[in-house]
């Protein structure tokens, strides 16, 4: 029987290990920390728990959040009631739940650091801080800071963004998303059980500058970071060329999750894609339909069909979403103004938040509804002026 080593026990590795072990393959998962509070918002969209219902149907601590406020300095704020709530976990709780599931399915978990791996005639020899482990196949799930040089995506500066923030001992019941001038990213305030995750992600900007922007925002909102733990991490955000050359598989290995760069370049959502790629990779091994190098091609094709083509497409216009201009204003400002005045546009944004609106169909939906949306915006604008004397779009 094949022995599979899963390197890394975040959502990608833990879920792959669960699937492999449940299918009867001998599976060993190696992680230097096992369950830990990985820097993350911890938000799971409807798309994630629709595909994997146990993510919402369980008794683990989590926040179910229905209301989101989107803001931009010039346009102000708009409230969006989500049709499907966002489920927010602490990463310790989410990772622990996924690792427990993997262990229950029969995977062997080991707390150890993978130092290097070498390929013999047909087997891997994996050197860890605890010794050497042999395996027939490796699933590489070591995240965005993958230190194993020969496996997993190798990206340039242009393919990542910084993400940092604070765990603030405070409470609120809604999500805040704040856009800022010339920021290719956004600030978030996510309510979690017992604290808030307040963070910022941004591309092409230093961590220092992002931290300054975040602290300015927190001061303005009277959110203190005095007793808050600081976190920072790198987030894959592949640019268009990298989606084509992405090194996600090779002889005897498949990469999943952040180690394969599988993160939404616009929203930074990576949890669903980590689990989904773990699921697809494990199917490749369980089904054994693609021997040798054919598996690389088959895995790449499976990812492409499932979600990677859509994410690659979103990379072509990600920058414009944050710093582009439309009708003499910034795109985020216009987005908020349209949401306020057009129920159709509001619906579209709800679907984007739920993860049920593919990027590849966005333009078509916008054009299909253009007349109606503009009609709603214009009617709302004039009605607002007539009734309330309001004079800003």
Ligand X SMILES: Cc1cc2nc3c(=O)[nH]c(=O)nc-3n(C[C@H](O)[C@H](O)[C@H](O)COP(=O)(O)OP(=O)(O)OC[C@H]3O[C@@H](n4cnc5c(N)ncnc54)[C@H](O)[C@@H]3O)c2cc1C
Q: Give the strands of the sheet with 249-250, arranged side by side.
A: 108-111, 26-31, 3-7, 137-140, 253-255, 249-250
11 lies in the binding site for ligand X (CB under 6 A): yes
202 lies in the binding site for ligand X (CB under 6 A): no
Residue 93's CB: how many other CB atoms inside 10 A?
18
40 lies in the binding site for ligand X (CB under 6 A): yes
Phi, psi of 225 (to 5 degrees): -110, 15
257 lies in the binding site for ligand X (CB under 6 A): yes
Alpha carbon distance 44, 55 (integer Å): 8
Residue 287's CB: how many other CB atoms inside 10 A?
11
Using CB under 6 A, pick the residue from 32, 37, 110, 306 that binds ligand X.
Answer: 32
Return the range that interacts with ligand X (CB under 6 A); candidates 19-27, 29-37, 241-249, 366-374. 29-37
Return the range that interacts with ligand X (CB under 6 A); candidates 38-46, 66-74, 76-84, 302-310. 38-46
Decide: 83 and 350 in contact? Cβ < 8 Å: yes
Pick between residue 75 and residue 199 the one whose CB is nearest to ligand X: 199
271 lies in the binding site for ligand X (CB under 6 A): yes
Decide: 17 and 7 in contact? Cβ < 8 Å: no
Measured between alpha carbons, how far is residue 145 from residues 106, 214, 234 in Å? Answer: 28, 23, 7
Residue carrying structure tokens 């598996």: 295
Size of the site for ligand X (CB under 6 A): 37
Pick between residue 205 and residue 258 the one whose CB is nearest to ligand X: 258
For residue 329, the minimal CB distance to ligand X (Å) is: 28
Pick between residue 264 and residue 376 the one whose CB is nearest to ligand X: 264
Using CB under 6 A, pick the residue from 20, 41, 178, 303 that binds ligand X.
Answer: 41
370 CB contacts (<8 Å, ≥6 apart)?
A: none
114 lies in the binding site for ligand X (CB under 6 A): yes
233 lies in the binding site for ligand X (CB under 6 A): yes
Return the range that interacts with ligand X (CB under 6 A); candidates 17-25, 74-82, 140-148, 376-384. 140-148
Alpha carbon distance 58, 212 (integer Å): 38
Using CB under 6 A, pick the residue from 43, 185, 261, 355 that binds ligand X.
Answer: 43
For residue 17, the minimal CB distance to ligand X (Å) is: 11
191 lies in the binding site for ligand X (CB under 6 A): no
Alpha carbon distance 95, 100 (integer Å): 8
Alpha carbon distance 223, 168 (integer Å): 8
Alpha carbon distance 57, 64 (integer Å): 11
Decide: 208 and 136 in contact? Cβ < 8 Å: no
For residue 338, the minimal CB distance to ligand X (Å) is: 25
57 CB contacts (<8 Å, ≥6 apart)?
A: none
185 lies in the binding site for ligand X (CB under 6 A): no
8 lies in the binding site for ligand X (CB under 6 A): yes
10 lies in the binding site for ligand X (CB under 6 A): yes
Alpha carbon distance 57, 62 (integer Å): 11
Return the range that interacts with ligand X (CB under 6 A); candidates 67-75, 241-249, 254-262, 338-346. 254-262
355 lies in the binding site for ligand X (CB under 6 A): no
Using CB under 6 A, pick the residue from 18, 72, 176, 269 that binds ligand X.
Answer: 269
85 lies in the binding site for ligand X (CB under 6 A): no
13 lies in the binding site for ligand X (CB under 6 A): yes
For residue 163, the minimal CB distance to ligand X (Å) is: 3
Q: Alpha helix locations (H) across the chain?
A: 11-22, 46-51, 91-105, 207-220, 240-245, 271-287, 294-303, 309-315, 318-323, 331-341, 343-354, 362-368, 370-388
Alpha carbon distance 311, 309 (integer Å): 6
For residue 18, the minimal CB distance to ligand X (Å) is: 13
Decide: 128 and 8 in contact? Cβ < 8 Å: no
Give the CB-nearest residue to ligand X. Answer: 270
113 lies in the binding site for ligand X (CB under 6 A): yes
31 lies in the binding site for ligand X (CB under 6 A): yes
For residue 15, the minimal CB distance to ligand X (Å) is: 8
Site residues (vs ligand X, CB under 6 A): 8-13, 30-33, 38-43, 113-114, 141-143, 147, 163, 165, 199, 233, 235, 257-259, 263, 268-272, 274
């Amino acid at each position: 029987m094949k022995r599979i080593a899963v390197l890394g026990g975040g959502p990608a590795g833990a879920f792959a290990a669960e699937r492999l072990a449940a299918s009867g393959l001998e599976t060993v998962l190696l992680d230097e920390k096992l369950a830990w509070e990985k820097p993350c918002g911890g938000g799971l969209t409807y798309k994630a728990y629709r595909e994997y219902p146990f993510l919402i149907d369980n008794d683990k601590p989590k926040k179910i959040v229905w209301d989101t406020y989107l803001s931009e300095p010039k346009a102000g704020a708009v409230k969006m009631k989500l049709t499907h709530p966002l489920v927010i976990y602490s990463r310790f709780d989410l990772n622990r739940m996924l690792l427990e599931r993997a262990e229950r399915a029969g995977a062997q978990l080991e707390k150890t650091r993978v130092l290097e791996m070498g390929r013999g005639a047909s087997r891997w020899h994996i050197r860890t801080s605890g010794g050497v482990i042999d395996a027939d196949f490796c699933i590489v799930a070591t995240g965005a800071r993958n230190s194993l040089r020969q496996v997993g995506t190798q990206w340039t500066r242009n393919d990542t963004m910084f993400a940092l923030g604070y765990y603030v001992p405070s409470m609120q019941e809604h999500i805040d998303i704040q856009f800022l001038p010339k920021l290719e990213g956004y600030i978030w305030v996510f309510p979690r059980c017992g604290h808030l995750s307040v963070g910022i992600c941004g591309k092409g900007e230093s961590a220092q500058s992002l931290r300054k922007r975040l602290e300015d925002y927190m001061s303005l909102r009277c959110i203190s970071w005095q007793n808050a733990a600081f976190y920072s991490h790198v987030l894959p955000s592949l640019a268009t060329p990298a989606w084509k050359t992405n090194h996600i598989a090779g002889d005897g290995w498949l990469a999943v999750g952040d180690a394969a760069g599988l993160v939404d370049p616009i929203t930074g959502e990576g949890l669903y894609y980590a689990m989904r790629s773990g699921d697809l990779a494990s199917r490749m091994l369980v089904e054994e339909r693609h021997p040798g190098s054919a598996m690389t091609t088959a895995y790449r094709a499976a990812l492409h069909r499932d979600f990677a083509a859509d994410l690659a497409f979103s990379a072509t216009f990600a920058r414009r979403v944050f710093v582009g201009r439309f009708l003499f204003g910034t795109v985020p400002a216009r987005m908020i103004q349209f949401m306020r005045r057009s129920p159709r546009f509001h619906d579209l944004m709800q679907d984007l938040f739920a993860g049920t609106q593919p990027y590849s169909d966005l333009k078509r939906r916008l054009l299909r509804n253009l007349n109606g949306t503009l009609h709603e915006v214009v009617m709302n604008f004039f009605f607002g002026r007539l009734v309330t004397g309001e004079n800003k779009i």
